[in-house]
Amino acid sequence: MLYTAIVARRGQYDLAGRDAEFVELTWQQRQKRRIRAVTDRGREVGILLPEGGLLQDGDLLGPGDPPLVVRAAPELVLVIWPRSREEMGRVAHQIGNRHIQAWITEEAIVVLDDSVLSQQLQAAGVPYRREVRPLAGSPVPPPAGGHHHHDDP
């Protein structure tokens, strides 16, 4: 079955009494417009969204029966706890320098697992750990403006 639209976002629908199916997608998969996936019932489905249609955790897809709900798949991440504003700045610089997407909460910075970044964190003594968790919500948006390049000496 092919799903071609985001019918509703989390909290905008009620599945009571409906037999919904679920599809787990990684953050990177949810950034694509064309996806082939397998539901929690083992059914292969296609997702073909219009331009600009990015999936979020909890999206209800259609048209189709049964309803299809997107779930953020658990992924290997680094959870980083900078201990000071200075350390936060240094960590943010490293993340930005590597062009890594970051989810920033009140308690921590979360990024997809990255071996180079974890080595840098370890060398700098910044507390972090690897966890498996879904990445719901949006990462910190990239800055507006032009592209840049790195001048290597």
CATH number at residue 101: 3.30.70.790
Asked whether residue 140 is assigned to any structural domain, the reply reads no
- pLDDT confidence of residue 60: 95
pLDDT in tens, the chain (153 residues): 899 999 999 999 998 878 889 999 999 999 999 999 999 999 999 999 988 778 999 999 998 888 899 999 999 999 999 999 999 999 999 999 999 999 998 889 999 999 999 999 999 999 999 999 999 887 876 555 445 555 555
Number of domains composing the chain: 2
Structural domain harbouring 54? 2-72
Asked whether residue 58 is assigned to any structural domain, the reply reads yes
Asked whether residue 129 is assigned to any structural domain, the reply reads yes
The model carries a pTM of 0.81
Q: Domain containing 54 — which CATH number? A: 2.60.260.20
Q: Are 70 and 29 in contact (CB under 8 A)?
A: no
- pLDDT confidence of residue 71: 96
- pLDDT confidence of residue 38: 97
- pLDDT confidence of residue 23: 97
- What the block records as the tokens of 55 is 């999936």
Residues sharing a CB contact under 8 Å with residue 43, sequence separation 6 or more, in sequence order: 1, 21
Full DSSP string of the chain: -EE-EEEE-TTS---TT---EEEEE-HHHHT-SEEEEE-TTS-EEEEEPPTT----TTPEEES-SS-EEEEEPEEEEEEE--SSHHHHHHHHHHHHHTT--EEE-SS-EEEE--HHHHHHHHHHT--EEEEEEE--S-PPPPPSS--------
Q: Which residues pair with 109 in a beta bridge?
A: 80, 104
